Structure 1
Amino acid sequence: MTQESQAAEANASGNDNLLLQAAAPLLNAVVQLRQAVTHDDPAGLRQSLIDEIRQFEQRCKQAGLPFEMIIGARYCLCSALDEAAAQTPWGTRGVWSGNGMLVTFHNESWGGEKFFQLLSRISQSPNQHLWLLEVVHYCLLLGYEGRYRGSDSGRVQCDAIRKRLAKLIEETRQPQSESARPLVEVHPLVSSISRPMIPLWACATVAALLACLLYSALNWRLGNDAEPLLRAIYQTPLPQITVGRRPSSPQALLDLRQRLNDVIAAGQLEVSDGAFGSKVIIPADKLFAEQGTAINPVGRALLARVATAMKNVKGTVLVSVFTDNRPVDNSRFASSYEFSFARARAVTQLLQSQLADGHAIRSEGRGDSDPLLPNDSNENRTRNRRVEITLFAAPETLSNHQGTQ
């Protein structure tokens, strides 16, 4: 089956799945993105997709679909659109490189992990999440691979996941085929408004003002309502997978601990070496003022030291920012995830100016997920407020290291 026919099937099949019907234009866009080798106006395309995602949300709300279902489907669709764009020459640079759909709607730069975490969670209750499972299935049919992309057996693993999901959907739908289940009830909004004799421009001005206020209120509510779902996604355990062979001694390869020995001894940061890379852990209070997102001068000097230590090892740098469990006392942010992502972007921008070519930098806001200690004292909350900068060495760097041993 070609990708075009798969996208067409998304429009035609599952006629009782209102979520899939609402998502059909975005699934078609995934196919178009994969086939677009060149594009004259990537910025305009990005804006049109943003508008289409908002229309998708509106269609779902008009159909009375649950909020959690809409957010989950939007996350999967944004991930699929971003991956499709990333496979094109024009999608790896310019406006798309750091401002994809996930950044715009979920304050995240990569969804390859949480896509499959979400799938694992909703698969445990297929009757409750059948419509969302079918949307995820179509994303996989159209080539989405997420964290499996680039690994030796990634395509095989994705095919196995897709087949298991198709079987789960079929088994869930079979009991419902004997008696058709009712569609989600749609409540059209009908209003009768008497219009006073006032100028048209005044009506337009008031309407625009009300729309701005409504958008701000809904955006704030969306951030608050989405925070429990994001926390649940982050806390979902990942399955153990086997990846390519890594060097047995990453310390000798990355050597970050030795290069940062003086600031480690001064208690300004910690370095943790693992099987997949080296992680620098910095207390957030050393970089930012309380409830602030601007890096202070001491923090800038500290991050410059970290960048200098990482400069000679090409690879991917992941910036993760964590908060404690206290509410964010900043009117700019609706949730701790938005707040932590803003801090992560600030650190990323500074590192980009310091690191040489050959480093890909990603950022994520983790909010109050994954605390190091229970948030039951000021000391523990201070430990949990942290910035983690993880360096994953590029394959060619690993190959050179193995060749010299």
Structure 2
Amino acid sequence: MREFERQIREAISAARTGARQAEQSLSNPLWQAKSSMASLGGMLPGRHAQPQEPSEEDDEAAYAQTPPHSGDVAGNGGALPQVAALGNAQIQGVRAESGMRRASIERPGIASGLWENPWIAAAMPLLLLVERLRGQSGMVMAEVRPQIIRELQYFQQHLKKQGKSLEDVEHLSYLLCTYIDGIFGARAVAEAFSLSLLVEFHRDAWGGENCFEHLQAYMDSPQQNREVLEFYDLILSLGFEGKYLMVERGPVLLRDLRTHLNTLLYGQNPTQQLTLATTRPVSAPRRKRVGALTILCWGLALCIAAWGITAWYLHEQARQIRSDILAWVPPEPRKINIMETLPNPLSQILTEGWLEVRKDPRGWLLIFTSDGAFHTGSAVLSEEFVKKRNIERLGMALAPWPGDLEVIGHTDSTPFRNNSANSNLKLSEARAQVVADTLRETTSINHTHQRDISSIGRGESEPLADNATEDGRRRNRRVDILWKVGQREADRVIKDFQDSEAVDVSSLDE
């Protein structure tokens, strides 16, 4: 490589002095094709030039007149000259009469920008070159590989001159080689990329694995390696996948890794907002005339003021009406003392032991346990309970008395295992529905007084006893029949009063 660098300096010196000899050498397409191969660092020795067509005799003569360089590399009996970039002047590519394409090499590091991150700033010329080349079709890899190698060498040397850690430089160069090999490896033609950049620069072929091991080591100390992590984040956002291209659920794992990396980079120190990046404040022009927005705001303010005054006036006018409503006490609904005037059939049923009566704020609560009345875990009445006609006899006892009925089903806290699709709540609802249907269909409970009979299930939400004991669970498995004695009359009185008050208020407004 030292001999190669010496020849590069000679070519640069020849270009600056305008030496005709170097220009004639570079203008020869045969010599330039060999130069592109020689820039691979001597990896392809002995490559013979292709035979020329008869129409290219002038070019061969010009090439024969060019003196050989002292540093030519010998191979297979022939000399292979080497050349590099000619200063800042880019070698203009032209086609020979045979249509052969000539490679041109630029000075490395030309395409750059202002970057606070020194790693990104050093790699930006190479990344821009790769992004420009990957979008080109019909590209010859043998022509672009020398320029890529020059940019990689510039990346390493530039960072070493800045005093960066040699280990970090090697790791990031390792990452760049792996990334570029992944892009151009599938497009390689002839022998241009038969030897990958990773093998040539680092003598390794496991870039997809090792790159992420290096990244994990840097992520263990995010504060000390923030600039290096930003470089890894840039390469990942350009589409680098590495080993995750082959593993199962690779895209998901890679997305999780990038999310964790972004959290380390920007979770505590978010990026600067664009509103804070302005260099000088911008003042809005001063309005000299009243605009439509000002008129609209004043109009809304006047409407709000008018609404407030009207609301206050109506509030004062209705003060006496509100006081009268709050002072009114509705008449107490008529209640029936069922214990004093208990009909004979109901008193006989209570003595049998399967029915219990309790006082409730809404009326009376008739309770009977589900054990013996229903099959276990089912909403089907048992044969013995049906044979005794308990529900029918209860309906006949309640028929002479008014009042709506609400059937409420309850269960214990034991999970329902007979069918996974059911639950204690569904079981309680089904049992309550069976009792309500039996009261409506098999008794004359609505013969004397028309009443509403509804059903609802509460599951294990309203226990009467502790579910920790067997006796408590047995008491909790029950069906309640809420007898709303006098409730309908009280509701009717309150509704009639509210309707009359609404009529009075509407007449007052008119």
Given the two structures, how large is their TM-score scaled by the length of structure 2?
0.30
- Which one has the bigger helix percentage? 1
Higher gyration radius (CA): 2
Indicate the structure whose relative CO is greater, using CA pairs within 8 Å and at least 6 residues apart: 1
Given the two structures, how large is their TM-score scaled by the length of structure 1?
0.37
